[in-house]
Each structure stands twice: as C-alpha cells, then as structure tokens.
Amino acid sequence: MASDITRLGVDVKWQDLTLGCTIVGRGTSESFNTGEWRTDTPLFILEKCKQCLLCAPACPDSAIPVENGKRGEFDLDHCKGCGICEKACPFDAIKMLKGER
C-alpha cells in the first residue's frame, strides 16, 4: 500500500516506499529511539525541583514528560543528552552525568 509506513527502513525497496515519501500517521518520530545517540545522561534531582517547568519546553526531543502540571522522570528512549535542560533549570535540579549512558 502506498501509505504503509511499517515497511520504511534502511532496506526498503522502491516498490514499498510510500507515495511521494509521504508519512501517513501522527507522532511517528516516537518509534525512532534517539536515546541511542546519548553520551551524557541527565540526572533529575526531585528534592531540588520547584516544578517551574522551564525545562520541559526547552527539551528539543520532548523527553521531559509533564502530567498534571508536574514533570516526571526523563524519557531516556528519546533523550539525546544535549544538556539544554541543565542550563534551563534555575534550581540545579538537573545534573548532566558526563560519559554515562
């Protein structure tokens, strides 16, 4: 089928590509684990966190889940370890662990 994205992958044949390389469906980037790329890992220090939520929108990979007005643990399947959240946090509640996966 011209819109079947399940066959897309590095070995896809031209016959199995979607029509015009369109991608039918939403949130499909979730199935791509960018967490694989991480060399530094953020540590979330719950007791220092004021739930100001400045970190969540700063994350380029939506790897800081927010529920009921509070952030939770990092989504390490998608966190690339860029460290932007550490810089965004005014309360030192995020610490990048260098060289740790």
Q: Which residues sit at the interface with another protein, rule CB under 8 A?
A: 2-3, 10, 12-15, 17, 19-26
**Least distance to another protein from the beta carbon of 32, Å?**
12
**Least distance to another protein from the beta carbon of 3, Å?**
6
The nearer residue to another protein, 14 or 99, going by C-beta atoms, is 14
Closest CA to 55 of 7, 4, 93: 93
The nearer residue to another protein, 9 or 69, going by C-beta atoms, is 9
The nearer residue to another protein, 12 or 97, going by C-beta atoms, is 12
Residue 66, strand partner residues: 71
Contacts of residues 87-90 at CB distance under 8 Å and 24 or more positions apart, as own/partner, are 87/58, 88/54, 88/55, 88/58, 89/54, 89/55, 90/52, 90/54
The nearer residue to another protein, 13 or 69, going by C-beta atoms, is 13
**Least distance to another protein from the beta carbon of 4, Å?**
11
What 8-state DSSP symbol labels residue 29?
A: G
